[in-house]
Structure 1
Amino acid sequence: MTDTVDVCVVGGCGRVGLPLGIALAARGQSVVLYDIDAAAVERVNSGVMPFAEEGAQEPLTEALAAGRLRATTDPAAVGLADALVVVVGTPVDSHLNPDLGAVPRAIERCVEHLRDGQLIVLRSTVYPGVTALTEKLLSAKGLVVDVAFCPERIAEGRAMTELFTLPQIIAARTPQALDRAEALFRNLTGKIVRLEPEEAELAKLFTNTWRYLKFAAANQFWMMANDFGLDFARIQQAVVHDYPRADDLPMPGFAAGPCLLKDTMQLAAFNRNNFVLGHSAMLINEGLPLYLVSRLEDRFDLAELSVGILGMAFKGGSDDTRDSLAYKLKKILTLKARETLCTDPYVTDDRLVPLDDVLKRADLLVIAAPHPDYAVLDTDKPVVDMWGLTGQGVRV
């Protein structure tokens, strides 16, 4: 591999890196995707999306055919690019403490191939200070490079729209690094917001945490209304109707996925675990499956029933099951119900059962992911729908 390219995306075949690479290639940039997942690399090079992302297949095919995009497992690829964009997962551990080493480890794996003069862009959501830590790491290796932090802001499934329409936050320590990062992302959008690195790190964590807090408020409100025998859907619709100061009150539902809880806990750790709102939100959102089952126990003899869980992804219309609370619901129901059946039209999992079979065998149905497929169900079985997807109310 000797051809130089404009951009190398580290973690380039994942759910954040791949849409970014495709979007840049669609705007005329030459892009190489470096990833340690050989199966994903093979699929991308064969022109197949390794996951569902609306609007990505056609530009992927076009970019491959034009020679503007390719994927590889060869770490030497990072040395071929003027700009390196690092997009790797930044998990919390089993104690909900942030893993500060995820980004540095990704860079360490390929640091021998880096060269002076490159622009290194961190795209992952990071604990405040990781950009500075990365700068120290690269400096200790004797590299003279520009480092920027430009957090991803997309919603999964909307990347191929939002990469071109949402403002891009860019942050760097020097004017030169800022200018280079801005030039890179102006390939996607003309809307740029400049910050200091630590400001941008907090901006990203605040964004995800704010969303998590809003879901917790809605879930707490739903439980309050539900415990008094009232339909929260009717109340929520009245609150938001032509009333802009409350139009961001969501419906209840499982607040899950790989970001919201994780980033709320990163923010708590940053503030020395002094984050009452964040920890309260975690208790509400993570406790929702148990609350739901306890309500079902009040209404049904679960030990004598077969329960069907509809939707195992963490959000509607998605094939992504990462940290989905539907699996927590399944675990609880496995202990309580006579039988638990799970189905999902988007998720590939040998343990799942076709929807028709679930509708036949189950005595009770629970919509765990708001897939549009479940808005109109042909069944006479009781349907528990806390999302309000079916328009039949959300009382449980």
Structure 2
Amino acid sequence: MEATVIGTGYVGLVVGTCLAGAGNRVTCADVDETKIRRLNAGDVPIYEPGIERLISENLAAGRLRFTTDAAEGIRTADVIFVAVGTPPGEDGLADLDYVRNAARVIGDNLRPDTVVVMKSTVPVGTCERVRAEIARRTDVPFHMCANPEFLKEGDAVGDFLYPDRVVCGVDSEHARQCMEGLYEPFIRSGNPLIFMDIASAELTKYAANAMLAARIGLMNQFAELCEHTGADIERVRRGVGSDPRIGSAFLYAGTGYGGSCLPKDVWAIIRSAEKQGVDLGILRSVAEANDRQTTVLVRKIVRRFGDDLTGLRFALWGLAFKPRTDDMRAAPSRAIAEALRERGAAVVAHDPAAMEQAREFYLGDAVEYAANEYEALDGADALVVVTEWLQYRRPDWSEVAKRMPRPIVFDGRNVFDPDRMASRGYEHYPIGRRQVGPDEIP
């Protein structure tokens, strides 16, 4: 099948590359000339495990190509995926400018009976607006489909190749058959390909992210209660997660959710519902609680050192919003670093993948960047663990002790056990667990 993917961000690259790997001929288009040059040279602009090898293999096999000329790919496509960004506007609603631009290019170059697939996360009704925009520019028949993505950054390739479900909102039998053919290689293990109407498919994506955000938010609030009552959020998590009606996923307390999806999608569905006269009050509380949770470590630091942090130096382990990605969008590390610097502290950071992104787009030279996690500790008054990369979970504690003048750890992802930290002689401030202060060091 001939497929064209408009947009080469996280979603577009994964979709295009994996479809090519299944034997389709895929054109990935983007307006960013620099990005396209890099991709055609085999230089992948994102950190996503497995994607670089797949791109290289499919480029070499001739099944995948990258271009700035979307029109060329549209004119030969059986199916077109719209995978452009939908960033939040000033009002919190999804900004659909890139979607509208894609619709115009599609309308000007469409061939008959093409299936236009909305892969971007968009409010309910967007596919109908895209359909109208295309129809204003062409008389040829075409079909619409809403096919929301459920890709986890850091595991996106595996999520596409082995999906736990695929949701498709279609408007015709032709669109249904097209999507069945595309996804048949990826659902051979029996996981469902779920067909529904377009509006329901659009809302399914937002509803899924909203529920995941609510789980994280609830656990973070229970973690705060644990700190006041002496309960342990990790034990609570295991007890709650063992209930099959609830399950164990997305029940980890920490510094709040971040990334490109949950923060913007939660606010987008809240604002979209308001336009329909519907108040999603529970979800608004989740979003507001998460905004506060991103600086929970700062509040712990201030309680330990005071509000004026002038002259103090903090080592940050982790910049990306989660492990196995370089994505800094809405990463809690940004709010933490900025708050510490506003109080006069110096910040030195390490991350296995995200330091280039942090320096170029987000934090600039406002923080120092260490070559490895241990170098970040040199002269630090405290270690602040923000992202639970695997290499941070079992550090060489003798090396840590040699480099830090004071054994103090603020553990934003509950990586370390409080009792073991106390036995090592460390002050330890986790989330929702026993806080080991200076008076408790053996």
TM-score (norm 1): 0.92
Residue identity matched to 1:183: G
User: What secondary structure does 1:233 align onto?
Assistant: helix
Whether contact under 8 Å (1:317, 1:370) holds in the other structure is no
Q: Which sits farther off after the overlay, 179-188 or 163-172? A: 179-188
1:293 maps to 298
Listed as ranges, the gaps of 5+ residues in structure 2 are 360-364, 402-406, 419-429, 436-442
Structure 1, residues 4-46: CA drift from partner, whole Å, max 9, x if none? Answer: x7111100x2111111111111111111110112222122212
Name the counterpart of 2:175. 177
User: What does residue 377 of structure 1 align with?
Assistant: 395
After superposition, the C-alpha distances for 1:289-340 in whole angstroms (9 at most, x for unaligned) are 3333222211224345211221110112211111212101111111224322
Maintained 8 Å contact 2:80/2:116: yes
Any idea what SS the aligned residue of 2:5 has?
A: strand
Deviations 1:117-157 (Å, cap 9, x if unpaired)? Answer: 21111111110000111111111112421111111111112
**Which among 326, 334, 342 is matched to residue 327 of structure 1?**
334
Judge conservation of contact 1:98–1:127 (CA < 8 Å) in 2.
Answer: yes
Cα deviation, 1:217-247, whole Å, max 9, x if unaligned, reads 011111111234544223323443x443443
Shift of 1:364: 0.8
Corresponding residue pairs, total: 390
CA shift, 1:257, in A, is: 0.7
How far, CA to CA, are the matches of 1:289 and 1:65 in structure 2?
A: 43
Check 1:114–1:343 CA distance in 2 against 1; reply closer, same or farther (3 A cut).
same
What is the CA–CA distance in structure 1 between the aligned matches of 2:345 and 2:329, rounded to whole Å?
26
The aligned runs of 1:229-308 (5 Å cut-off) are 229-240=230-241, 242-248=242-248, 250-253=251-254, 254-272=256-274, 274-301=279-306, 302-308=309-315
C-alpha contact 1:170 1:182 (8 A) present in aligned 2: no
User: CA separation in 2, counterparts of 1:108 and 1:141?
Assistant: 7
Contact 2:104 2:134 in 1 (8 A): no
Q: Which residue of 2 aligns with 1:61?
A: 56
Secondary structure at 2:319 match in 1: coil
Q: Is the 8 A contact 1:366 1:385 kept in 2?
A: yes
- Distance change (3 Å), C-alpha of 1:234 and 1:305: farther
Residue 31 of structure 1 corresponds to 26
Counterpart residue type for residue 370 of structure 1: E
Per the alignment, in what secondary structure is the counterpart of residue 271 of structure 1? helix
What is the DSSP-based 3-state SS (H/G/I as helix, E as strand, rest coil) of the residue aligned with 1:96?
coil
* Mapped partners of 1:132, 1:211: distance in 2: 27
1:92 to 74, 88, 93: 88
Instruction: Give the structure 2 partner of residue 114 of structure 1.
Output: 110
Aligned counterparts, 1:152-167, within 5 A: 152-166=149-163, 167=165
What is the CA–CA distance in structure 2 between the aligned matches of 1:231 and 1:386, rounded to whole Å?
Answer: 15
Percent of pairs with identical residues: 27
**Contact conserved, 2:49 with 2:324, CA < 8 A, in 1?**
no
Structure 2 Cα separation of the partners of residues 252 and 198 of structure 1: 33
What amino acid maps onto 1:260 in structure 2? L
8 Å contact kept, 2:48–2:324: no
One-letter amino acid matched to 2:247? D
What is the distance in 1 between the residues matched to 2:102 and 2:408? 49
Q: Which moved more, 1:345-354 or 1:277-286?
A: 345-354
Aligned to 1:194: 195
SS in 2 for 1:7: strand
> Take 2:43 and 2:311, find their aligned partners in 1: how far apart are those partners?
44
CA distance in 1, matches of 2:91, 2:395: 40
**Residues 89, 194 of structure 1: alpha-carbon distance in 2 compared, 3 angstrom cutoff:** same
* 8 Å Cα contact 1:90/1:102 also seen in 2: yes
Contact kept, 8 Å, 2:93 with 2:272, in 1: the verdict is no
- Verify the 8 A CA contact 2:20 2:63 in the aligned structure 1: yes
Long gaps (5+) in structure 1: none
